[in-house]
Amino acid sequence: MPVTVVRFNLVDPGASPESLSRRYRAAVEMAAYADDRGVTMIQTEEHHGAENGWLPSPLVFAGALLGTTRRLAVTVSALIAPLYDPLRLAEDLAVLDLTSAGRIMAVAGIGYRQEEYAMLGRPWERRGRLQDEALETLLTAWTGEPFTYEGRTVRVTPRPYTRPHPLLLVGGSSRAAARRAARLALPFFPSAHLPELEAYYHACREEFGTEGWCMMPPARTPLLHIAEDPDRAWALYGEHLLHEARTYASWQSGGGIRSAVRSHADTVEGLRREGVHRILTPDACVDLAGSEDGAGSLVLHPLCGGMPVDEGWRSLHLFGEKVLPRLQG
């Protein structure tokens, strides 16, 4: 059975505080439903200052998800580590790890939007060093022992539930990210299917004498919506998928950034042909799970791009009632 993922980023262009509150509360309720049906994990993410409200506070949201679920994992992918105070980040992740008994996972990325660094007063030109400092501080802080930080002696308590520390991966699409993960003996999560980067990571591990592993995304990672009538769903809701796809692509226009879910489409018809976003019947989703494209994971994105909450629930119910039982069986 493939890994099953429900993705939330709470995008909602033009939302009022009231409608956005309904969306957030629906996502938490959807997580509880997904947990009851045996979904493997919830994935959430982080961006700042986006006009469409893209989730800026993934750790707070992760806490709400973990509090309403019992089994599934919650993954923050990616957590933009240089934007955080490392000591507070160590505390927050330790508390999430304790409250969930080890169900929190973070993929630490460096980010790719200069405006996010400017908004939070972090120097873009030092982002690599900030990432090193953040990761090194987390690993030291989670030992629970006193250590020197910025010239003073500090101690982070309590220690996390997971030993030696919560599951922390280094994400990215650069050789610098792969080398950083290898040096720190952390798992590496390439942002796209990049076998050459995986090979470089393992070569660096041999150089540093460290242990580690790579979580490689498949060559294609379609984002799914489930509907009994895909033609009707594309006609009614395709613009929501296109909005999110175009927003995400606009942030990755240069600098060699790679992503497993980046779209190049600029129309709904083009998006449908491309296959990054797919609206499938339950039968087609089961077929996808048995194909090369879906053998690794199925990623359901029920509230994509401001999708109406009721339609998001319809998609999730179809996934939970007409797809998952067949995969589990």
What structural domains does the chain harbor?
3-328 (3.20.20.30)
- Is a pLDDT exceeding 90 seen at residue 23? yes
Instruction: List the one residue out of 205, 108, 109 whose CA is nearest residue 166.
Output: 108
Q: Give me the residue label for tokens 């919650």.
A: 74
Instruction: List the one residue out of 64, 78, 54, 71 whose CA is nearest residue 25.
Output: 64
45-94 pLDDT tens trace:
999 999 999 999 999 999 999 999 999 999 999 999 999 999 999 999 99
Which residues lie closer than 8 Å to 197 by C-beta, 6 or more apart? 173, 175, 178, 190
User: Any idea what the Cα angle at residue 301 is, between residues 298 and 303, rounded to 5°?
Assistant: 165
Distances 175 to 171, 194, 197 between C-alpha atoms, Å: 11, 11, 7
Distance (Å, whole) CA 13 – CA 307: 10
Distance (Å, whole) CA 79 – CA 59: 9
Crossing angle (nearest 10°) for helices 86-100 and 127-141: 50
Q: What is the pTM of this model?
A: 0.95
164-193 pLDDT tens trace:
999 999 999 999 999 999 999 999 999 999
